[in-house]
A and B are shown apart, each in its own frame.
Chain A
């Protein structure tokens, strides 16, 4: 299985721990593929915490019905919230390889990984198109 992220981890591990530099036999499934993935995870966590509040305050800002004073206050409040609480900052990366582009959204996998798994019949209902 050409799982790039795990293969990378595979090669990294022996060098990090010199005592175990002999041979890594098992796949490491407990680590994130790379640091960008970790940062994305952190962003998602803050989004979980403050995302709803941000959205609601924004809804107060983005209308012409409510008084301006309220909008100004809302502006200030939004700025006070953490930046990572914004949904737009989240990047839907591949869950296995952390590929930022070419991600099949429903499966959260990059197209390459998706193709691989589909060929091995691991994706329910995913079939080769033929018509």
Chain B
């Protein structure tokens, strides 16, 4: 019996408390009654009755207690309970069902005994399943029956774990040596566990034969359809970066400043020695200076030999000949622009008299033709 003090602490969690509160004045009424009663006969009968009442109440409370304890909200549920053992089912040896099950199993094929057991269980157990609906549904397959039917596989498998490639062996040995040299003996629990784990034989890959297995024929042969090749998305940037990586792997950074300067010179960042002021102007060097200066011969095909036009164009040529910054192509372009412009404005020139008249023009045309 719990003391009242103890009960008051765990009051909020237990529903017992409310009952006991109700019962307590009656249960502990001995003290009060003793003090109040005076007669001997009357108290005896009263006592008996009271005792009987008390007992009844206690019994009631006890019966209720059991229910209360099993409620999920109470502490009782949280306390350790003994495991509920499943009762063994007495399989009724109903012969027709058994025979039928056997026949079905044989027809189905495969593991006859297993199928048989499963069928029988399904036939028998549904009755039990219906009764206990509130509880969790049991698994239809009884593991014990299953395992009893199975045999232990004693065939020799390749112990994959024990196989180790030579490289890994060497590595392990070397690693161990290093570790032994550096590390101390494992002192803590963790270290011991770590050692044990590392000592476990290293998982190695047995020699895998990729092309030895059967051809499944799931996928169509890729590469035959032209469409599929075209559809395949190309990771161009990735490919570029891969190429770059390869290039970088080959090229080494310069070891010293001399190598760096050589690199710069090759790239064109550094002047070539002996210093030549016209470095980078190799093309211009090949062109003769006469081409820059004598530009009048470009005027001959189109320009009249006399007149304001010729005068103007000769001045242009003089200016160009004195220009060191233009290339020959640029100079030619300059002259040709003027030619085109005057072609557009031919009518105006003829009207004004800048261009010579038709007779002179025809003479010129004849000359050009010849």
Contacts and interface: CB of A to CB of B under 8 A. Distances in A.
Interface of A: 52-53, 56, 59-60, 63, 65-70, 73
B21 interface: no
A81 B353 CA distance: 28
Interface centre among A65, A68, A73 (most CB of B within 10 A): A65
Nearest to B355: A67
Interface stretch (B31-39, B152-160, B333-341): B333-341
A69 B308 CA distance: 13
B112 interface: no
B22 interface: no
Contacts of A73: 345, 348
Contacts of B349: 67, 70
Nearest to A72: B348
Interface centre among A53, A59, A60, A70 (most CB of B within 10 A): A70
A65 B338 contact: no
B305 interface: no
A91 B337 CA distance: 28
Contacts of A68: 352
Nearest to B308: A65
Contact of A65 (B312, B345, B348): B312
Nearest to A55: B334
A59 B316 contact: yes
Contact of B348 (A52, A63, A70): A70
B354 A56 contact: no
B311 interface: yes
B366 interface: no
B311 A70 contact: no
Interface of B: 308-309, 311-312, 315-316, 334, 337-338, 341, 345, 348-349, 351-354
Contact of B334 (A56, A60, A65): A56
Given A69-B351, A73-B345, A56 B337 contact: yes
A36 to B, nearest CB: 28
Contacts of A59: 316
A66 B354 contact: yes
Contacts of A66: 308-309, 312, 354
B328 to A, nearest CB: 16
Given A65-B312, A66-B354, A69-B352, A56 B338 contact: yes
Consensus secondary structure, chain B interface: helix
Contact of B345 (A52, A63, A70): A70
Given A56-B338, A67-B308, A69-B351, 11 more contacts: A56-B334, A60-B341, A63-B315, A65-B315, A66-B354, A67-B349, A67-B352, A67-B354, A69-B348, A70-B345, A70-B349
A66 to B, nearest CB: 6
A5 to B, nearest CB: 26
Contacts, number: 36
Nearest to A67: B352
Interface centre among A59, A60, A66 (most CB of B within 10 A): A66
A33 B337 CA distance: 38
A54 to B, nearest CB: 12
Nearest to A59: B316
A59 B316 CA distance: 9
B348 A67 contact: yes
A49 to B, nearest CB: 15
Contacts of B337: 52-53, 56
A60 B349 CA distance: 13
A73 B345 CA distance: 9
Contact of A70 (B315, B316, B334, B352): B352
B295 to A, nearest CB: 15
Interface centre among B341, B349, B351 (most CB of A within 10 A): B341
A53 to B, nearest CB: 8
B326 to A, nearest CB: 11
Contacts of B351: 69
Contacts of A52: 334, 337
B8 to A, nearest CB: 59
Contacts of A53: 337
Contacts of A60: 341
28 contacts: A52-B334, A52-B337, A53-B337, A56-B337, A56-B338, A56-B341, A59-B316, A60-B341, A63-B312, A63-B315, A65-B308, A65-B311, A65-B312, A65-B315, A66-B308, A66-B309, A66-B312, A66-B354, A67-B349, A67-B353, A67-B354, A68-B352, A69-B351, A70-B345, A70-B352, A70-B354, A73-B345, A73-B348
Contacts of B334: 52, 56
